Chains A and B, each alone.
Chain A
Amino acid sequence: MSDRHRIELRWRGRNGRTGRTEIVRAESDESILDAAERADVGLPFGCRTGACATCTGRLLTGKIEHLRPPRGLKNDSKEDGYVLLCIARAKSDCEIEVGSDVQTDLVTNPWK
């Protein structure tokens, strides 16, 4: 059995503008990245195994589960709601912040 969830993907706005939003439907047995690709919505990604964090998103509302340990995320990032969309499966309707800016939140210049 497979449930469908409504996933709202939100990009950050730049230069004072509102970011774009896309709605995709995700089966409960597919990754959110796969669901987005199926809907022809491009998200950044790399390894597809949860190691590289290129596909980092931030869960704003809803529930997801990672299919395997999200190796590319440190514990505090996980606690802050960051998720890896290549291995994340929706457990409910979700709102997720996406785009390359979200990954850059994870690492700042350590000397600055």
Chain B
Amino acid sequence: MSDIESPESGAHEHHEHHHDVEGPGYATPQAAIEQADREKISYVPSLYVGTDVDAPDFLSVVDVDPDSTTYCEVIDTVEMPNKGDELHHFGWNACSSSCHVEGLERRHLVVPGQRSSRLHIVDTKNRESPEIVDVIEPEEVYEYDLSAPHTVHCIPDGEILVSMLGDKDGDLPGGFLELNDDFEIEGRWDPPGEIGMNYDFWYQPRHNVMVSSEWAAPKTYYPGFDLEDVEKGNYGHEINIWDWTNRTVEQTIDLGEEGLIPLEVRFLHSPEAAHGYVGAALSSNMFHFYEREKEWFAEKVINVEPREHEDWDMPVPGLITDLLVSMDDRYLFFSNWLHGDVRMYDVSDPKNPRLADQLWAGGLFGPRHPTGEDDREVIAGPQMLQLSIDGERLYWTTSLFSTWDNQFYPEEAERGSVMLKADVNPRKGTMTLDEDFLVDFGEMPNGPARAHEIRWPDGDCTSDVWQ
């Protein structure tokens, strides 16, 4: 295969590489590091759902180019055609896994509504001023007895896979919806009955594997978090290991009490790697999963200790809500949304992560004004993360989910989210909060908004998969 050739033999011009056929993405993770430009804009779903701001959610175009006069500002917004979507996670129509597909471009974003089950197709041909070109209405989705779209990954050959967390009524089980390259529903990807619960997923074609995680039924998590639901077993604690080509679950690994609510799943980027991580939010443990002799295992490798807080009756869990692996597979970053910190671990030895650095901003224990006393306060803790492809800048937003935000950080509805950034030194393994960077989603035209996931136009550390 051409994608294991040395990147040095390829052209260094942006987006051009040494494949037999031109397609989107980069030949290898190393080629991405070498060829990607610095990120200049980012796309960030921004929300009004669940507040008294009577307006639709929108996609923000955020200027992250320090040489620009509008640095740290929302320079454009794409308003959704309907209210009530709860835009959440979103993804590209194509990534490096479709590198060999001629004529395909990484150009369209699939932007689902978590509550509405509506799927929006946004064309980013004009990067600074994208537009909605197509909408799949909830009724079309319900026909496949699915609802609550979550993770969007392009899959090889131009298709798009979306994890769906519920059936058409918001009950279990969920499944996967497949879209074709014309953004039409192709059908249900998985045979019904393979899984009980669903959430995030990542696939690794060379190992013929997909790993999916579990949140809960939409009707359980939509209204907010209730400890009673945990006691009743309504929240997930398993990961499913799929045969990627057969679309069947080959193994289910129960993470037990220590693995309650396994959310984000990230494989190492190297297509040869059979290692990944999944963060158990409620138990606040990081699990390493790996393959040995055709069998998959998951082991707890990091534990975030709960902490006492004077206003809380019980010790507060860190609540690991997001994680990512740097493009060179050297560092694992994750966020503790309740505690208020971001951690950086050296994972050169994937089984033995070593804490490299940690920083605090907002949350229950971090500084309320991390970027300076004169700047607006940061209400919630670090949540969705995104890293520059060269691994030198880590960005994050602070909203988790509208009803959960209201429970744990009620002021966020009044003040809106922020986007923050740390400068990362991969050589020394350190992070430094950039006190000159703050994007204030409290200052949006219709009122304060919540901000969620972050994506770069040319792919990022949580989009790209290599065949």
Contact = CB atoms under 8 A, between A and B. Distances in A.
Interface of A: 11, 42, 44-54, 56, 71-74, 99-100, 103-104, 106-112
B205 to A, nearest CB: 34
B219 A71 contact: yes
Nearest to A55: B84
A73 to B, nearest CB: 8
Given A45-B84, A51-B147, A103-B50, A108 B407 contact: yes
B52 A100 contact: yes
Nearest to B55: A42
A82 to B, nearest CB: 10
Nearest to B221: A52
B403 interface: yes
Contact residues of A: prevailing secondary structure: loop
Contacts of A100: 50-52, 406, 413
Contacts of B54: 42
Interface stretch (B285-293, B308-316, B377-385): B308-316
A107 B52 contact: no
B182 interface: no
Interface in B64-109: 83-86
B313 A111 contact: yes
B227 interface: yes
B223 interface: yes
B372 interface: no
Contacts of B83: 42, 45
B187 interface: no
Given A72-B219, A99-B52, A100-B413, A107 B171 contact: no
B169 A52 contact: no
A53 B226 contact: no
A53 B223 CA distance: 5
B170 A54 contact: no
Contacts of B226: 74, 107, 110
Nearest to A12: B52
Interface centre among A46, A49, A72, A106 (most CB of B within 10 A): A46
B116 interface: yes
B266 to A, nearest CB: 28
A47 B115 contact: yes
23 contacts: A46-B50, A46-B86, A46-B222, A47-B115, A47-B218, A51-B166, A51-B171, A51-B222, A52-B218, A52-B222, A54-B49, A54-B86, A72-B170, A72-B222, A103-B406, A104-B407, A107-B224, A107-B407, A109-B408, A111-B312, A111-B313, A111-B316, A112-B313
